[in-house]
Amino acid sequence: MSSQQRTITTLSNFFIYNSNFGPREGEEEKKIIYYFPPNTPIDNQIKNVGLSEAVVKFTETFSPKRPCESLHTQKTRQQYIQAEKDFWVVMTVTIPYSEKTKDGQMYHEYHEEDVQDSVFQAVLAHAYKLFKLFMGTFTSIVENNGLDQLKHRLGHFYSRYLATLRLNMSDILEIHNGIQFLPLDKNTYLRIQCFINLIEATFSQIKYAAFLYNDQLVWSGLEQDDMRILYKYLTTSLFPSSLDTELKEPPKNLAASQSAAAHYGKFVTGPPDLNDATKLGRVPKIYVNTDSQSDEFHLVVYRALSATVCLMVDGTTLPSIEWYRNIDSFIGPQLSSLASDISEQYNTRKTSSSSSQEFKFIYFNQMNLAQKTTVHNRKTASATISPEIVRLIADINADFTRSGEDGETLMKTMSDCWVVGKKSDQREFYVVINQKNANLIEINEEVKRLCAAHFTNIFFLD
């Protein structure tokens, strides 16, 4: 028997439907609000939507309060979420397989364990929440602008977003969808908070603000659920693309300016050149607090060195070039100074924490969404340990979620690697330890030692 390398998980289809839009026979096409790939024959679209609709309605018989979340077949996995009342979002992904030969015959061996429901349910939920952040809710768009406008916005957004999905690299980070915070000393943190308060007091159009250094959050005035979606967009999309643009530009020459207000600040979203009033640049709109009144803002992002300020500006009117100039002259010098001070602390902490570690860990705090990981590469977000162990961590997380109780799980893999999961007081801690000859008691003591050494201010139940 021989085998070849396995395939990867890919997107088979993605669609959104509302059964109320085509309730009668012959009107099935009207239910479909968005379908990817768009070149799929309409008969196939109707068949796939009809199957999903039937599965959801059939399973409601057995569980009226908890709708169906996934459908398993040999070759595909289908995930469902009811994003809003009567609006269903569905995603189908392929199951990876290996081509094997036995007795001269080739066949496919499918690896369903590679596709974990909890991970891809989180991927699907984020796909909806990101749309909601930039476009608003499905219901509000239909009520204010009509169904055709909703279809247009869905096509505009998802035709670009779905192409960026890296499904084969999705793991427990999708489930947590946490935020990496930057720890600072008390004085620096208070300076940043005073700086943000001063900005909001000086410019009445600014309703909320957030402060980041590199890809780590320092302070935010947004609600947690809105900030976690915005944070992922900033760190995985906006910042990398703006950095690529900056690297192609000549550096700003401060020595050439004699002005005391000379600084390193520039707009990431907003006017590329403050001397050119005809070009105000691209400023995305975002919708926050959508569970209540749904506020609309312009997202103005300003950066100096490695420090970034995100300003949520009243969305009723577009800021003028004069407003941008005032922002630049007010924020630029102070942000440049703050960035330099933070840099000293950041580099000191980075040096002290970069010592070689014989273990890898993931930590997540559900209360403030704080997340730390040494399992993933910070730049690529890809795992630095084997896919099997990453999946094992997600399985332990799924067990914790199902039980709903605090607990601890210790497992030893076939490669003699230990994986430990702890959940206590809405905090989760997963650690991978390579100690082949260690026994259960020794590993338990090692985990306690690691918690004491690296999480001294965090309480874990024994």
- Categorize the per-residue pLDDT at 416 as very low, low, confident or very high, splitting at 50, 70 and 90: confident
Report yes or no: 211 and 219 within 8 Å, Cβ to Cβ.
yes
pLDDT band of 42, cuts 50, 70, 90: very high
Tell me the C-alpha distance between 255 and 372, whole Å: 39
Helix (H, G, I), strand (E, B) or coil at 398: helix
pLDDT on residue 284: 94
**pLDDT at 422 exceeding the cut of 50:** yes
pLDDT higher at 294 or 7: 7
Shortest CA distance to 360 belongs to which of 391, 327, 339, 384?
384
pLDDT band at 383 (very low <50, low <70, confident <90, very high): confident
* Three-state helix/strand/coil letters over 303-332: EECCEEEEEEEECCCCCCHHHHHHHHHHHH
Segment 301-311 shows an average pLDDT of 94
Q: What is the pLDDT of residue 3?
A: 52
Better-predicted residue by pLDDT, 195 or 381: 195
Separation of CA 413 from chain center: 29
The total of other beta-carbon atoms located within 10 Å of residue 247's CB is 7
Angstrom distance (rounded) from CA 334 to CA 344: 16
Helices (H) and strands (E) in the chain, counts: 12, 19
The radius of gyration of the chain's CA atoms, rounded to the nearest angstrom, is 25
Q: How confident is the model at residue 53 (pLDDT cuts 50, 70, 90)?
A: very high
Q: pLDDT value at position 255?
A: 43
Asked if the model's pLDDT at residue 38 lies above 80, the reply is: yes
pLDDT surpasses 50 at 257: no
pLDDT tens digits along 106-133: 889 999 999 999 999 999 999 999 999 9
Nearest-CA neighbor of 155 among 74, 55, 4, 35?
A: 35
Residue 392 has pLDDT above 80, yes or no: yes
Classified as helix, coil or strand, 357 is coil
Rounded Cα gap, residues 431 and 413, in angstroms: 13
Q: Does residue 397 surpass a pLDDT of 80? A: yes
Distance between CA atoms of residues 448 and 255, nearest Å: 53
User: How much is the mean pLDDT over the chain?
Assistant: 88
Backbone angles phi, psi at 433, to 5 degrees: -120, 125
Contacts 24+ apart (CB under 8 A), 440-447: 440/410, 443/410, 443/418, 444/410, 444/420, 447/420, 447/422
**Residues contacting 296, CB < 8 A, separation 6+:** 136, 285, 286, 287, 315, 316
Which tens digits make up the pLDDT trace of 141-171? 999 999 999 999 999 999 999 999 999 999 9
Helix axes 321-353, 186-202, angle to 10 degrees: 170
What pLDDT does residue 357 have? 56
Asked whether the beta carbons of 266 and 113 are under 8 A apart, the reply is no
Within 13 Å and on the Cβ side, how many CA atoms surround 168? 10
CA distance 161 to 93: 16
Q: What is the mean pLDDT of residues 12-31?
A: 91
Least confident of 97-106, 296-305, 352-361: 352-361
